[in-house]
Structure 1
Amino acid sequence: MSTLTSIFGEDLRAYIDFKARTGKTGRSRIHYLRHFDAWATAHSVTRLDRAAVEGWVLDELTRCSTHRSWMSYIRDFGRWMRVHRDPNAHVLTDEWKAGIVHSTPYLLSQYDIDAFFTAAPTVPAASPWSWQATAFFLLMHSAGLRTREVKKLTPADIDFTNGSITITGSKTGRDRLLPLTTEVMSILTDCHHQTRHQFPERSTFFVSATGTAVNPSSIGIIFNRIWDHAGLARPATGPRPRPYDFRHHFAYANIERWMRNGTDVNTMLPYLSTYMGHSGIDSTLYYVHTSPDFMSVYSDLVRTSANRVIPENSAE
């Protein structure tokens, strides 16, 4: 763990070495402790006291998104410091819960979506992203998949004959068989042929330049590159566009379509929940709570009746 600049540099290296000897070598821990080191340098921190620890946490909270498990890293470092370096080192209290907090979605417009997918096939990229980016993000947009679900897809998960995909290992622990349109299947087929020609022994459907599974960070990089290539603006404040917003848009678009068509949203939400792989209806209700203002009148109605028995033969 090089290039550490704060007064805690040597302590952080020793702590990381200690964790490695116990078999814990995750990149996430190093990533966030580098953030802490840079913050401590910028703020001339000299002691691991409460002001330093909580000051960094508060600063990091302004940038983090959904997952906050990184709080455990600074908490554990504090415990290690207390035993090995400074008995007065502050340990982040349990009042600071890691948990999962929904980040505010960026509401994609139809113009954003059209411009993005128009630009995707021509985005400058030397890696397989040059031919697979459209297919990757189209699955998030048209089927509401999570980023990691698309990343983990294997060629065997895609049924080119019947036009469907199987999603395995979701949060619910249950597999999902999802139908796809002819247009989406055509794009997946073209992507499959190009990738198979370059990497015949690949284990995942989407690959890196070496034929292995795509790196999570590369997904965000190519998304931003396409966004800029499309000439789309980035908001100066508020939510920023991310790949996951395609999944959000899928949920919003379905709810709004049902409303326009006069379909009973209460009845359809459980089906949407199952399709998107939610563990329960509460996760789906989130989209009602965060949807555009004109949907707010439906929120209370849906919340009180979503758990009722679903009538048979009501799925679309």
Structure 2
Amino acid sequence: MRDLRRNLREYIDLRHALGFRLRKHERRLSEFITFLEARRTDHVTTKLAIAWAMESSKGHKHSCFERLSFIRSFATYVSSMDAQTEIPPTGTMRRPAIALRPYIYTREEIGRLMAAARKLFSPHKLRCHTYYHLIGLLATTGMRSGEAVRLANSDVDLAEGLITIRESKFGKSRVVPLHSTTVKSLVAYKARRDAFLNKVEAPRFFISESRGPISSPHESFREIRRVAGLEKTRNGIPPRMHDLRHTFAVQTLLAWYRNGADVERNLPILSTFLGHSHIANTYWYLTSTPELLGAACERLETRWGRSQ
């Protein structure tokens, strides 16, 4: 089994050298190897790969498909050194259909989420404030949740009202300006956090009550969502933390339409602000949400009316 561990390290190093980040891969594949160790086998087999993918994902189709794809890639690498390695066929499990339509929160719903965050179980009275301010930051900047959770102290310049997001998705970095009310809120959180740490340096801007980085934000968000009464939504799918990003993008575009701004001209600005790798990712919002589609049609009708 030691060979598989070494193979995993070599595989990850190789993929890193090729420019892949693989944040999830190493952790999941290490868990898979532990699964194999418990069964006293040192070879990847299709049967065990499927068994682990289904067991570890608790039947969640998207997670199961993702885990199996991680194993398939790793097994392909290992098979060049071990003839007994089985590569799970690509048709072993069908890719689940993905709901493209994002959930767009109303202002009232965001308020409910933030109010629910204040009610989180928080023995040291910090966790509730951490998530209150985290949700507020995501809602007002459209940052990815992972970007916010990974922020270092040095990335948050409250004096200048700027946040630097370093090497995020696609390896891109960017600077995000903050509204004055957001700055004021984060200053209050930082003061509370520093008092809790009692002169110990914070490992991240947002921290857990164990004094370390936040480790399970999405689990906490599910708890917040439940307390906020947002388990059942308009499209039947519970909203995610990531939908705060979608909401920010859609509301920004809607405001531009309603204020008569040149959306086509401003779209690259929003794309850069959100850290999209290509402007096509930002155009996606125009067709994925009925509100924006309606606003765009209304703009076209107005233009046609003027030209006639």
> With structure 2 as the length reference, what TM-score do the two structures score?
0.71
After superposition, the Cα gap between the structure-2 partners of 1:90 and 1:169, relative to the gap in structure 1 and judged at 3 Å, is closer
After superposition, the Cα gap between the structure-2 partners of 1:252 and 1:14, relative to the gap in structure 1 and judged at 3 Å, is same
Map 1:162-311 to 2 at 5 A: 162-171=160-169, 173-199=171-197, 200-215=200-215, 218-235=216-233, 238-292=236-290, 295=293, 298=296
- Whole-Å separation in 2 of the counterparts to 1:172 and 1:75: 20
After superposition, the Cα gap between the structure-2 partners of 1:62 and 1:107, relative to the gap in structure 1 and judged at 3 Å, is farther
- Counterpart residue type for residue 209 of structure 1: E
Q: Does the 8 Å contact 1:140/1:147 carry over to 2? A: yes
Deviation (angstroms), 1:110: 2.8
Per the alignment, residue 146 of structure 1 pairs with 144
Q: Does the 8 Å contact 2:75/2:87 carry over to 1? A: no
- Counterpart residue type for residue 62 of structure 1: K
Per the alignment, residue 62 of structure 1 pairs with 61
After superposition, the Cα gap between the structure-2 partners of 1:74 and 1:61, relative to the gap in structure 1 and judged at 3 Å, is farther
After superposition, the Cα gap between the structure-2 partners of 1:83 and 1:60, relative to the gap in structure 1 and judged at 3 Å, is farther
Q: Deviations along 1:46-77, whole A, 9 cap, x unmatched? A: x837xx79x97xx9783349x94750313534
- Whole-Å separation in 1 of the counterparts to 2:294 and 2:230: 28
Q: Does the 8 Å contact 1:129/1:222 carry over to 2? A: no
RMSD, matched Cα: 4.1
Q: Does the 8 Å contact 2:230/2:238 carry over to 1? A: no
Deviation (angstroms), 1:160: 2.1
Deviation (angstroms), 1:91: 4.0
The runs of 5 or more residues in structure 2 that have no matched partner are 13-24, 37-44, 301-308
- Whole-Å separation in 2 of the counterparts to 1:103 and 1:34: 35
Q: Does the 8 Å contact 2:231/2:238 carry over to 1? A: no
> Which range is displaced more, 180-189 or 288-297?
288-297
After superposition, the Cα gap between the structure-2 partners of 1:179 and 1:75, relative to the gap in structure 1 and judged at 3 Å, is closer
More helix by share: 2
Question: What SS does structure 2 have at the residue aligned with 1:177?
Answer: strand
Deviation (angstroms), 1:295: 0.8
After superposition, the Cα gap between the structure-2 partners of 1:246 and 1:16, relative to the gap in structure 1 and judged at 3 Å, is farther
> Which range is displaced more, 228-237 or 125-134?
228-237
Q: Does the 8 Å contact 1:136/1:150 carry over to 2? A: yes
- Whole-Å separation in 2 of the counterparts to 1:20 and 1:76: 8
The runs of 5 or more residues in structure 1 that have no matched partner are 1-12, 37-46, 303-316
Q: Deviations along 1:125-154, whole A, 9 cap, x unmatched? A: 336422211111111110010112101212
